Amino acid sequence: MDDFLNTIHQGDCIAGMAKLPAGSIDLAFADPPFNIGYEYDVYNDKLGREKYLEWSREWIAGVYQALKPDGTFWLAIGDEYAAELKILSQEVGFHTRSWVVWYYTFGVNCKYKFTRSHAHIFYFVKDADNFTFRSEDLENRIPSARELVYNDKRANPKGRLPDDTWMIRPADVVGEIIADDGTWSPEEIKPVPDDKRTWTLRPQDLETCFQADENTWYFPRVAGTFKERQGFHGCQMPEQLLGRIIRSCSSEGDTVLDPFSGSATTLAVAKKLNRKFLGFELSEDYVDYGRQRLEEIRIGDRLNGSAEPTKSAPKTDSSKQKSSRKKVSNKQRNLFALEERLAETQLQMTLTGICEAYKLCHDGFSVDRIVMDPAANEMFTDVCQRLGLAGEPRTWNTLLIQLRRSGKFSHIEVTNKTEFSWDEIDPFFHASELAMQSVLDDDLAEDFNEIFSDPLIAKEFDQRALQHAPTRTPFELRWAALMLNQQSETARTRGAILKAPAKIGKAISIDDLNPEQFLTTPGVYLLEQGPKKKLYAGETLNLQHRFTTICESKEALTPLGNNLQIRIFPTQTSSADILAWQSCFISKHNTKLNYQKLSGVPQTQTSTI
């Protein structure tokens, strides 16, 4: 099933749905050809009546088979076959919950009958007693008249469910509305001046949209609208309309199917709302367009058009300036709240996606390993990209670390532990320290996390560290930096009780350094430029091995200048107490090249993976 998900399949939907595992889809939305002569590029939209109904029964049966036992099916259709397809769907096995009328506020003028201005959307379920309908979610409720019109404190703060007449403008309507004679001209459709305001909650606000010659009638003295049906064909449904359907009848992570993908609006909205999705489409051009559109979308992106019906209020006489000002203030407050809600929604969806990406690619490894291992991190960011998460690798890594800190992965067992001992990294961890602090000194990052959350900065770290330890891998050097960072606070407190000696031996020119002259014993050393300029304090469990690495990469020290010398102080350090003497020497000599979290001076760089 995973091979089918999150894309558009080119081909016939009946054959495509037959390949889907039975009971694998949570929600299906279909906006099929209306059989009214619309000029598709690869489909004949003028079938004989019986042939069209036979074909409709076949694809509706395919939807029924693909849906889960508690699945939901929404069907958009024009007047010509609305009643027939409703009956067909019920004969296949669906139960009708609602017959929604979508009033889209304008259409192409008709000469010999009322102008078409609506479409039908049927809401079916597979099981009349078992289905998803998220009626209590605030995002699926609208303000009541008590709140909007009367400012009544008794109004339910949760609002109410919408009516079954939805007033919303279609998106990109040019070329999508068919006149009664089968012809139309783009000039007949005027652009909407306030294209951002798509939803309208109250008919009172649509008095300039309801026209006397339309077949959806609004009478101000009657609470409601009266509708007569006329054909409508829309290749691109409004995102906000589909958003209401998908939010109400599915949950995050559910799978949404569109048998007639077209311009991929259903799938686009499903992706934005963090649902899995798949579609079928005959036209190769539409498949290419739809896939490109989906590629540009990120989970949690806001839907096009105003988000849910805009809160409105009774029109105010121009003389009532005070009331007018109050209304504007309330509107602004609502807009601010909406912006915050949309941002929070996208963040939560992105966090959910981060968790999913980690589960898919962690392979038993810890979050530390996923962030620090270049290969593992590339796999993680590729999964985030495929899932369509907002942001980029730096953001995803940062959020992954934050989620780990908050305990979101405590239930996931780490079966493949990454284990390096201090003895293993001892010969080269100075290379990680020098590279890490130089990146911080050059203001490429503010702290440890930022270095390794950003792949570009991490690569810069790799290049600098490899100059001091060219035989090591980037992963080894990054993991050494992680161990150094994790040990720094303990080393700092332990180093505070140590007393650095006043003198630590004779200075040896870096050019005369011979590793064979030293024992394989622990020690601390100072890299200095003359007797007064202390550059770096290093600690090692094996002086001979450390100096071997330094001698193999002397050219990396060239930028530090001439007259470089090393002074050595033997210690009895064990791996359990590593870095304590180094921290002590850093504090005493105020070295500039050391990782400053090892200093006894309080640091601001305190964040850790």
Question: Structural domains in the chain?
Answer: 2-295 (3.40.50.150), 326-405 (no CATH), 422-598 (3.40.1440.10)
Helix (H, G, I), strand (E, B) or coil at 102: strand
Average pLDDT value for residue range 515-541: 92
pLDDT interval class at 11 (50, 70, 90)? very high
The confidence score (pLDDT) of residue 39 equals 59
User: Exposed e or buried b for every residue in 419-430, given b needs 16+ CB within 10 A?
Assistant: eeebeebbbbbb
Q: Is a pLDDT exceeding 50 seen at residue 551?
A: yes
Higher pLDDT, 139 or 71: 71
Q: What is the pLDDT of residues 173-190, one digit of tens each?
A: 433 344 444 444 444 444
Q: How far apart are CA 458 and CA 374, in angstroms?
A: 9
CA angle 247, 251, 256 (to 5 degrees): 80
The confidence score (pLDDT) of residue 444 equals 96
Q: How far apart are CA 163 and CA 438, in angstroms?
A: 63
Q: Are 510 and 564 in contact (CB under 8 A)?
A: yes
The confidence score (pLDDT) of residue 108 equals 54
pLDDT interval class at 309 (50, 70, 90)? very low
Higher pLDDT, 461 or 286: 461
Lowest mean pLDDT among 188-202, 258-272, 447-461, 584-598: 188-202
Going by their DSSP bridges, the two strands 25-30 and 7-10 should be labelled as unpaired
User: Exposed e or buried b for every residue in 516-549, given b needs 16+ CB within 10 A?
Assistant: eebeeebbbbbbbeeeebbbbbbbbbbbbbbbbb
pLDDT interval class at 133 (50, 70, 90)? confident
Considering the chain, what is the average pLDDT of its residues?
Answer: 81
Among 396, 388, 410, CA closest to 453: 396
